[in-house]
A and B are shown apart, each in its own frame.
Chain A
Amino acid sequence: MLDNLNQDVSILQPSLQMTDSQIQNRIRQMKMEDPDDQTCYQKFCNLFTIEYYREYFDVTTELVIAKVVNAFNPFSGTFFDIGGGIPELYGPFWILNTLIFTTALSVNIIKYMQLQPGEHFEYQFQIVPILTIFMYLKTLIVPMIYRVALKCVSQDRLTLLHCLTIYGYSAVVMIPISLLNSIPNPAIQWMLLVYVLFAQTSFLTSNFNQELKYLPKEKKYMIVGLVAVVQITIMILYKFYFFSSINYEQLGLVKKRTTTHLLPHILGAN
């Protein structure tokens, strides 16, 4: 039975370059079409095996590094050309975790640098779970928004995993920025925010632009505009929630007044 399947695979697409795990997944899919050959476990619990996800981790070091370097370049829309545009989950997942670590680090550094003389340093650990939830939710929900928008303009070439991949890699720009954000100078912080907003948004928009070349102009600009708007919202939330504790009076930059946090004002709290 398995020999037949192997032959079928090679007959169908003899010239397609497939990696080992893709071949195994294809064989498993073809096996699944034959209802006698699947156990109940295979039918329902395939989602829980490791082999199911191995296809998405099929990357080499050079590929990941090439994608990361490409993500720093906001104008070339060539992200989906690297490595054949295969969606993968390794890059987004570990970039996310690195970002959580560096943001927690820089929030604590800011607090440390703003110590009044004689005050004991209070490290802040609850930032870590909050950050984790924020980052993971952001990385799950925003690609879904992209996918829904793409479905509305009936574009099916970019799947949800493609959107996840490109969104995860676009977050690489935030890693050095979050480290540099630990400098308590507000002018530098705003400049860094503007830079990362610009870099990440233009990376995403130029790549989507490239992919959606053949769509009519209005739909294309709608998608691209949606990407930009969502990005701007998230960056503003990020800046004002995590880096809002900077104490302007202590730095002697403004006259004495009570510190206001913008976000609770926006949300209508006291």
Chain B
Amino acid sequence: MDYSNQKHPQNYSQMEDLKTLDLEESVSETIMRDLRMIAYKLKYVLIPKEQEDNGKELRNWDLWGPLIFCLTLAMTLSFKADSTTSSSKSDVFAIIFVLIWVGAFVVTLNAQLLGGKVSFFQSVCLLGYCVFPINIEAIIIAFVGSYLPFVVKLIPVIICFAWSAYSSVGFMASLVPPHKKKLAVYPVFLFYLFLSWFSLIV
């Protein structure tokens, strides 16, 4: 069966329309389809020009993207961690993993408690996708960080932190009533600051 000339599905609900027979296609095709969906959502979240419909695309949340970015970040940072220091590699991995998921949970809970009416997983999905710039800076610092002085290392950290914060702030601020906007935005800011500081210091 030839599926090559069909449009790539962008979310799971579009997939059912195509009536693809999952059991017949190869594993690489399944994986590529999921990866394409993640890439589409990533472009949507991180590049502000793509958001024409004010976040409606995010209703098709998925947690694969956040999981992949969380795992890559935790693996990059623990790979870079020396095994001779007091914090072993597994400590760093565990701390990052727990921090990302518990942090996303707490920030979303905060937005809901302040009166925002948003689905819980939608917000966790967004916060997870916005961890991607922190991933980029962690990889940059892991590979070239030992050759650069501290001040030069600060530049990609600040740029990537500003990028993550800016992408997620727009969405979070739209959830709560106007006189509580800064209250909902501050925890997001703190969350990404914490993550950026971790990736800088390792």
Q: Are A53 and B113 in contact, CB atoms less than 8 angstroms apart? A: yes
A135 sits at the interface (CB 8 A): no
CA distance A123 to B199 in the complex (A): 12
If A57-B113, A59-B183, A94-B190 are given as contacts, then 7 extra A-B residue pairs at C-beta distance below 8 Å, sorted by A number, are A60-B179, A61-B179, A90-B114, A122-B82, A123-B85, A126-B91, A128-B95
B171 sits at the interface (CB 8 A): no
Q: Are B183 and A61 in contact, CB atoms less than 8 angstroms apart? A: yes
Residues of A within 8 A of B (CB): 21, 50, 53-54, 57-62, 64, 90, 94, 97-98, 101, 105, 108, 120, 122-126, 128-129
Closest to B150 in A: A112
CA distance A125 to B87 in the complex (A): 6
CB distance from B81 to the nearest CB of A (A): 9
A-B contact pairs, 16 of them (CB 8 A): A21-B115, A50-B112, A53-B113, A54-B115, A58-B115, A59-B180, A62-B179, A90-B114, A94-B110, A94-B190, A101-B194, A108-B201, A120-B82, A123-B201, A126-B91, A129-B95
Chain B residues contacting A21 (CB-CB under 8 Å) are 115
Q: Are A124 and B87 in contact, CB atoms less than 8 angstroms apart? A: yes
Chain B residues contacting A98 (CB-CB under 8 Å) are 190
Interface string of B9-43 (1 = CB under 8 A from A): 00000000000000000000000000000000000
Closest to A105 in B: B197
> How many residues on the B side are at the interface (Cβ–Cβ under 8 A)?
26
Chain B residues contacting A123 (CB-CB under 8 Å) are 85, 87, 201-202
CA distance A75 to B182 in the complex (A): 28
CA distance A21 to B182 in the complex (A): 20
Q: Are B86 and A126 in contact, CB atoms less than 8 angstroms apart? A: yes
